[in-house]
A = this chain, B = another copy of it.
Amino acid sequence: MEIIESIAELREALRAKKAYSKTSGFVPTMGYLHAGHESLMKKAREECDLVIASIFVNPTQFGPNEDFEKYPRDIQRDSELCRRAGVDIIFHPQPHEIYQRNASTWVEVEGMTDIACGAMRPGHFRGVTTVVAKLFNIIMPHRAYFGEKDYQQLQIIKRMTRDLFMPITIVPVPTIRESDGLAMSSRNSYLSPTERQAARVMPRALQVARDAVDSGVIDVSEIIAQIEKCVAAQSMATLQYAVIVNPETMEPLRVTTGEARLLAAILIGKTRLIDNIPLIPKAAAPGSI
Contact = CB atoms under 8 A, between A and B. Distances in A.
Contact of A167 (B106, B107, B137): B137
Interface string A131-170: 0011001101000000000000000000110111111000
B164 A134 contact: yes
Interface of A: 7, 100, 102-112, 129, 133-134, 137-138, 140, 159-160, 162-167, 249
B165 A138 contact: yes
Nearest to A137: B165
Contacts of A112: 104
Contacts of A111: 104
Copies of this chain, how many?
A: 2
A106 B105 contact: no
A107 B165 CA distance: 13
A159 B104 contact: yes
B162 A100 contact: yes
B100 A163 contact: yes
A7 B167 CA distance: 12
A137 B166 contact: yes
A65 to B, nearest CB: 22
B105 A164 contact: yes
Contact of A137 (B103, B110, B164): B164
A163 B108 contact: no
Contact of A107 (B103, B140, B164): B164
Contacts of A102: 159, 249
Nearest to A98: B165
24 contacts: A102-B249, A103-B163, A104-B110, A104-B111, A104-B112, A105-B108, A105-B110, A105-B129, A105-B159, A105-B160, A105-B163, A105-B164, A106-B108, A106-B110, A107-B107, A107-B108, A108-B108, A133-B164, A134-B163, A134-B165, A137-B164, A137-B166, A137-B167, A140-B167
A109 B100 contact: no
For the complex of A and B, the 10 pairs showing the least CB-CB separation, nearest first, are A105-B163, A137-B165, A104-B110, A138-B165, A104-B111, A105-B160, A103-B163, A105-B109, A106-B108, A137-B166
Contacts of A129: 105
A91 to B, nearest CB: 12
